[in-house]
Amino acid sequence: MNQEIFREYDIRGVVGKDFDALFARTLGKAFATYLIRRGSKTPLSVSVGYDARLSSPELATSMVLGLGESGVNVTTLGLITTPISYFSTFALPLSGAVMITGSHNPPEYNGFKISFGQSTIFGEEIQKLKKIILDEDFVKGASLAKETALNIFDKYLERFGGDIKMKNPVKVVVDCGNGAAGVIVRRLYEKLKGLDFEILFEDPDGRFPNHHPDPTVEHNLKALKAAVLKNKAVVGIGFDGDADRIGVLDHTGRCLYGDELMVLFARAVLKDHPGTPIIGDVKCSDRLYKDIEAHGGVAVMYKTGHSLIKNKMKEMNSKFSGEMSGHVFFADRAYGYDDAIYAGARIIEILSQTGKTIPELLEG
């Protein structure tokens, strides 16, 4: 085990070099120990899901084994997006969740995003897991626990399928990048009446044969741009490997910066929630913060990191926040975590309701 895999927001490295499947089992035991010492209610129960990477199923099996032999009941969710892992903590009676994902990194990477209750752990809390492992300080004598498989997609569709209100028909192109988004995006977007959409690279494939799974890098959006122009679509929407990060092209094929995307959302949210704090990270430009204030919001600059911003949102009761990196967080009509597929639906709703193009919406 390379100790450097314990990062600020997750645990991540190259599989076979920095960690292996045995480590996933040990991490499961450490997380069980962490839950017990944090005073989680018994019986303990955790969901485990994974992305499309080739190493993910084996890591998930080992994680489930480590949790189970430590007395934690496990709900296995199979191949899902990271936002659906977060969603499980709101939809099910869980003590926490583990998502096995390499996010937007190359195929040889993988890792673990871990939730305690309904919050993603970070910083010092991740280091506590590392210490438990290094000290081999695991709970002892726990009995084997129950493992249950669950198809959570129906709950997700029931919760968000009716949330988006369409007015005018719109044409959209979506790029899944062969990531985990392909397991659910079609089913959700089919529920949006009047939406005409095409999906590129929908089948999950952990080799990412068509392009690198990071939609915030313009080079990775060549196929999406070509399809937007060919289909005369009003927007192109791209997702990263685990669908918590979004990239957006306007109808001309221009790639939006993260803070421009935040302006688009902030203006819409502020119409319903005037005066709400909207948090951006330090990488966002001053034009975002000025625009938030100009449209009646309270602009807040904060540290970079999805876990940090989510916690700050709860502290300030913010209805929407985001990062330059394409992580955006809706507490307005949602739960305050980063879900790129839902964010894409909110873009579609704005375009459908207004009948405007993205450049028109960003005027000023």
Q: Which of 56, 85, 103, 321 is catalytic?
A: 103
- For residues 341 and 181, the answer to whether their CB atoms sit within 8 Å is yes
Half-sphere exposure of 124 (CA within 13 A, CB side): 0
- For residues 31 and 46, the answer to whether their CB atoms sit within 8 Å is yes
DSSP 301-314: EE-S-HHHHHHHHH
**Residue 67 CA: distances (Å) to CA of 35, 89, 147, 257, 267:** 11, 17, 10, 40, 44
Closest CA to 243 of 80, 63, 57, 54: 80
Query: Would you call 103 a catalytic residue per the annotation?
Result: yes
Rounded CA separation 84/91 (Å): 10
Which residues does the annotation mark as catalytic?
Answer: 103
